[in-house]
A and B are shown apart, each in its own frame.
Chain A
Amino acid sequence: MKSKIVIFVAIVMLIAIMGYMAWDLFLSAPPEAKNPWEYKLSDLKRVDSSIPNYIEMKPFKPEMEEVHGVDVDMSGTIYVVGKNRVEIFSRDGNLKNSFPISGIGTCITMRNQLIYVGILDHIELFNISGDRIKRWKRTAPGSVITSIAVNGNDVFLADAGNKMVYRYTAEGKLLNRIGQKDTVQNIPGFVIPSPYFDLAIGKDRTLWVVNPGRHSFEHYTMEGHLLNSWGSASNSTADFCGCCNPTNFTLLNDGSFVTSEKGIERIKIYSNEGVYRELVATPEMFAEGVKGLDLAVDPQGRILVLDPAKNQVRVFVRK
């Protein structure tokens, strides 16, 4: 009799085990969406969305796989470069022309009827129909060209790989280097932790260059003398966040700076003396983790923002 009870209990236990297996496999609830070690970036990014004085208009949609650079010329034509292609748009967003390039384009600038395209470690020059005029040699081994600026007979290349700005003539002859660490002249040297290094031509034959690791803008003459610099680091809206920001910038007609950052993705405007003025676009408008929001300003003052996550050129206009 006792035997029978024992057998019965044992069999019940066995069936219970099988029942548990079936329940766990088919009926158990999905795992919780709670991460005990969550790092809430969204808290950092929360900004009152009514603050910006800019509204977004209809974007341009280039047809390439990846977009990396944008520029506007003096007539308002928009040039976009990305993976293996350059596309040219008219002011109202119609595709005017497009042509292939021999690699991944990282930056683009259009001046003097020539399109300067940075392709990883060197630049190539094209005319507006897309024929390649010239291919320049790379600046030095390990070069990564992240920005090009042209002013008359001077071509400036920002080389993030060698952490240097190079000045060339329009024919391609190297004139001088800018930004090399020099304790006598108080030039701190560029700290470039990630491949984002932008520059732009300023007023009176000067050059503005971002020093991303030091979160500052440095003002050089074209011969390489450091004039002044501004910029500070923190997560607040008035400063540059993270380890290396801003990633891109452009200058408005009055000399004020439009900057874009990664980490806390936002577009801001600073006065021509480096005082924070206002927000153009908040982090909510961008996909989390997007990097390389290249900027350009067209003659009407519209701010064009390249969005690599959405593969678009987004347009912001003052209210």
Chain B
Amino acid sequence: MFRISREFWLLLLLMLLAGSSFAIQRFPRPEFETGYQQPDTMLPGPRAEIMAVVDLAVLILALSAVSWMVLKKRSRKGVFWVSMFSLVYFGFYREGCICAVGSVQNVTLALFDQTYPIPLTVLAFFIIPLIFTLFFGRTFCAGVCPFGAMQDLVAFRPKTINSKVDAALGMIPYLYLGLAVLFAATGTDFVICRYDPFVGIFRLNTGFSMLLFAAILLLTGIFIARPYCRYLCPYGVLLNWISRFSYRHMTITPAECINCRLCENSCPYGAIKIPNSVKYAETRRRRVRKLMFITLLIPFLMVGGGWAGSRLQETFAGVNRTVKLAKELLVSDQNGQDIESFEIKAFRSSGKPLTEVYQEARIILHRFLIGGWILGAFLGLTTGLMVAGKLLENHQSDYVPDKGACLSCARCTDYCPVMRNTMPTELNHKA
């Protein structure tokens, strides 16, 4: 039976409303004697608004499903199939847009620009995965994000990355997040969307350079599992922080860890914390020395980073279109023009005074100065904290996932031999 959905009627209504507004006579309609009927200008509307709410509902359902699969069923297969559904729905059907990763920029823009009314669904796409992460860990990454699903498909031969290299590369998402926030806050550009590797594949319609970009990333992804997630994703920074405080993060073992070491090489992302000694003691003196070093290092890195960021003010500001225009106008004023760019042509025909452009550009440049300091200081802080984390390693007795880095993909659960409802033995019970 063919049933016409509510969305169809809504869409039809929208189209009719949009098309009918031009049936009205306007000067200077010629007088037609032969009974010619002037056609209406057809104005097909966009996707019905209700569908954005449907997307939101699917998001919540998928998050719930994957969280259940990870925490209750502990099933890698279940997580995999939810992630495939997400790839199809959020990836190929919705063509990867709007996504939680990009929503960081929308929220930033909304906070800094009073005239940008953020669509409520975009705000929800930002907030809801964060809330799920606070309760259940990074289940969003495992089963809902289409990027992750795409990369999971090619992760055939994941290699272990040296922890120092991993830590260094792990700083890049902070840089990316900082830049994305900086550019969104100044209303310059949405860089995450600009360098979205997979959107061309999702659209099944892409230029050569975009395809090459995606291909190289996927090729890398064969040997370094989920490279975008671990070393680029800016939203992952927020998920990482929140996941560390999650109420119920997934565990490798359903009960007590028996240190059988079977899960040691099961994580393609190197997110399992390995027990480091039976007895590990650090002299108090060493610890104090380390803490002193860290207390000096962090402010030094923050100031140094902030200073470096401020030095890059012009480079960053150069991305902004108003600043670019002002620079061009300055150059053309001095050199005289041979071929006028379209930007200058458009500016001249707009009738805007030159001083106004220069003034706007100056204000934006100043914002980038402040932004550069903050970005640099932020990076300095996070680098310092990363170093601190490495130096002040705590005693680890069991195999547990790193709550920040674990993507809750549930691969490791397949390796753990411990049955549920195992009574903890005296031997394993630690104080």
> Do A and B originate from a single complex?
yes
Interface-lining segment among A3-11, A171-179, A291-299? A3-11
* A6 and B159 form a contact (CB under 8 A): yes
Q: Decide yes or no whether B100 CB sits under 8 A from chain A.
A: no
A163 and B31 contact, CB distance less than 8 A: yes
Point out the residues of chain B lying under 8 angstroms from A161, CB to CB: 27-28
Tell which of A13-21, A83-91, A102-110 binds the partner. A13-21
Tell me the complex Cα distance, A13–B223, Å.
11
Residues in chain B within 8 A of chain A (CB atoms): 25, 27-28, 30-31, 157, 159, 161, 165, 169, 172, 191, 194-195, 213, 216-217, 219-220, 223-224, 227, 231-232, 315-316, 318-319, 324, 328, 339-343, 349
Indicate whether A238 reaches chain B with its CB closer than 8 angstroms: no
CA distance A172 to B25 in the complex (A): 28
In this complex, what residue of A is CB-closest to B159? A7
- Docked Cα-Cα span, A11 to B220, in Å, equals 8
* Residues 151-197 of A contacting B (Cβ, < 8 Å): 160-161, 163, 191-195
CB–CB A13/B220 < 8 A: yes
In the assembled complex, the Cα of A33 lies from the Cα of B346 at a distance in Å of: 12
Chain B nearest Cβ from A144, distance in angstroms: 6
Scan residues 10-42 of chain A and give those whose CB is less than 8 A from a CB of chain B.
10-11, 13-14, 16-18, 20-21, 24-26, 30, 33, 35
Please tell me if the beta carbons of B224 and A33 are within 8 angstroms of each other in the complex: no
A193 & B318 in contact (Cβ 8 Å cutoff): no
Partner of B216, one of A16, A142, A144: A16
In residues 69-118 of chain A, which contact B (Cβ within 8 Å)? none
> Which of B195, B232, B319, B340 neighbours the largest number of chain A CB atoms within 10 Å of its CB?
B195
Contact of B319 among A16, A26, A194, A288 (CB under 8 A): A26
A17 touches B217 (CB 8 A): yes
CB neighbours (8 Å) of B195 from chain A are 21, 24-25
Rounded to whole Å, the gap between the CB of A61 and the closest CB of chain B is 16
Q: Which residues of B contact A3 (CB under 8 A)?
A: 159
| Bound-complex Cα distance A17 to B324 (A) | 25
Q: How many interface residues does chain A have, given as a range?
A: 20 to 34
The answer to whether A26 touches B159 (Cβ under 8 A) is: no
Instruction: Give A residues with C-beta under 8 Å from B.
Output: 3, 6-7, 10-11, 13-14, 16-18, 20-21, 24-26, 30, 33, 35, 142, 144, 160-161, 163, 191-195, 287-289
User: Please, which residues of chain B bring their CB within 8 A of the CB of A191?
Assistant: 30
Q: Which residues of B contact A13 (CB under 8 A)?
A: 216, 219-220
Smallest Cβ-Cβ distance to A18: which chain B residue: B172
8 new A-B contacts at CB < 8 Å, known A11-B165, A191-B30 = A6-B223, A7-B223, A10-B223, A13-B220, A14-B227, A17-B216, A26-B316, A163-B28
Q: In the complex, which residues of chain B have a beta carbon less than 8 angstroms from the beta carbon of A33?
A: 339-342
Q: 3 tightest A-B contacts by CB?
A: A33-B341, A10-B223, A13-B220
30 CB-based A-B contacts, threshold 8 Å: A6-B223, A7-B159, A7-B161, A7-B223, A10-B159, A10-B220, A10-B223, A10-B224, A11-B161, A13-B216, A13-B219, A14-B220, A14-B227, A14-B231, A17-B216, A21-B195, A25-B194, A26-B316, A30-B324, A30-B341, A33-B341, A33-B342, A142-B27, A161-B28, A163-B28, A163-B31, A192-B28, A193-B30, A288-B349, A289-B349
Report B-chain residues with C-beta under 8 Å of the C-beta of A193: 28, 30
Whole-angstrom CA separation of A20 from B214 in the bound complex? 12
| Chain B min CB distance to A18 (Å) | 7
- For A20, give its contact among B213, B232, B318, B343 (CB under 8 Å): B213
Q: Contact at B318–A26, with CB atoms within 8 Å?
A: yes
